[in-house]
Amino acid sequence: MHPRNRHRERYNFGQLIESCPQLAPFVRLNDYKDESINFFDPEAVKMLNKALLKHFYHIADWDIPENYLCPPIPGRADYIHYMADLLGSCNKGKIPEGKTVKCLDIGVGANCVYPLIGSSEYGWSFTGSDTDPVSIGSASRIIASNPGIQDLIELRLQPNPNNIFNGIILKGESFDITICNPPYHASLAEAQSGTLRKLSNLTGKNTTRPLLNFGGQHGELWCEGGEERFIENMIRQSKQFCGSCFWFSTLVSKESSLKSVYDALHKAEAFTMKTIPMGQGNKTGRIVAWTFLNLAQQNQWVNIKWNTKHS
């Protein structure tokens, strides 16, 4: 994990329970006599998320609707920290902080996790977009229940599922970075198959139970063409907003998707592209980031936006 990730060590369940007593009934000794939870139990995983967000990020009230994606907090934190490094690499190694740094989360989801972590860790302001009204409603409730973040996170409903940036990035608006965890499956059947593999890895046993135990709706887990087509569309559409954002970025779950991603970036004539590897346990992934700004434009952006002390 990233060196600044607060979740590099084993979970200290004593501290987490102290912050979130509701976690206690879900904690048990595993086969190695270590305290843990049953990661097969979606309620236990959700309660662990509540405890992590409260203990580390001061989010006192967090919840998601039933059957919506319950993301792994450590992996989400990794993405945010790597994006902070990317911004810092353009600013003589100094990570820009404060609410004048603006991040766009494409597909904020019902959980709103990226904005929660990014605003807590770096004080960035976020705009979160989603095509699902239920997700926007859930994220709105989370923000409303935590007064300390209300001036840092704004939500926007994307009315056209074929659009990614159009209708979300407003005229005259600019973002320092965009992030996205795209739906990586191409169909419900593929998503269920992936979940079964995940459950088998957790239990050490084969299972045929076709239940999305870890939650996730259509737009969260699968879309026509899977992550390849989604990211290709994102790259093509990002060119229309080439001057409105310093860095665009996305997670790329499958290594097999990289060729089409690189081809799309070359076709869109991105000035610079970067691939940042990420790994947690047996899972490997990567972030692909790109910018259309040349070096002079990048320096101008930094000097105008980041050369003063941020609040």
Assess if residue 300 is contained within a domain. yes
Assess if residue 285 is contained within a domain. yes
As for how many domains the chain has, the answer is 1
DSSP annotation of 185: B
Place of tokens 């003063």: 308
Residue segments in the chain with a per-residue pLDDT below the cut of 70: 184-225, 280-282, 308-311
Tell me which residue range forms the domain holding 121.
Answer: 66-305
The 3-state DSSP class for residue 104 equals: strand
Assess if residue 216 is contained within a domain. yes
Name, in order, each residue with C-beta under 8 angstroms of 79's C-beta and a sequence gap of 6 or more.
114, 179, 181, 251, 278, 287
DSSP annotation of 308: S
Q: How far apart are CA 153 and CA 22, in angstroms?
A: 27
What's the pTM value of the predicted model, to 2 decimals? 0.87
Assess if residue 180 is contained within a domain. yes
Q: In angstroms, what CA-CA distances link 64 with 29, 39, 43, 110, 111?
A: 27, 17, 11, 6, 6
Cα-Cα-Cα-Cα dihedral of 260, 271, 131, 71, to 10°?
A: 70
For the chain, percent helix, then strand, then coil, each to nearest 5?
Answer: 40, 20, 40
Using one digit for the tens of pLDDT, what is the confidence trace for 65-99? 988 988 999 999 999 999 999 999 999 999 999 99
Geometric angle at alpha carbon 16, from 11 and 20, rounded to 5°? 150
State the chain's maximal CA–CA distance in angstroms: 57
Assess if residue 139 is contained within a domain. yes
Place of tokens 């936006």: 305
CATH number at residue 168: 3.40.50.150
Q: How far apart are CA 199 and CA 163, in angstroms?
A: 33
Are 69 and 216 contacting, i.e. CB atoms less than 8 angstroms apart? yes
Assess if residue 282 is contained within a domain. yes
- φ, ψ of residue 288 to 5 degrees: the values are -110, 130
The 3-state DSSP class for residue 208 equals: coil
Place of tokens 């490997």: 284
Assess if residue 23 is contained within a domain. no
Assess if residue 53 is contained within a domain. no
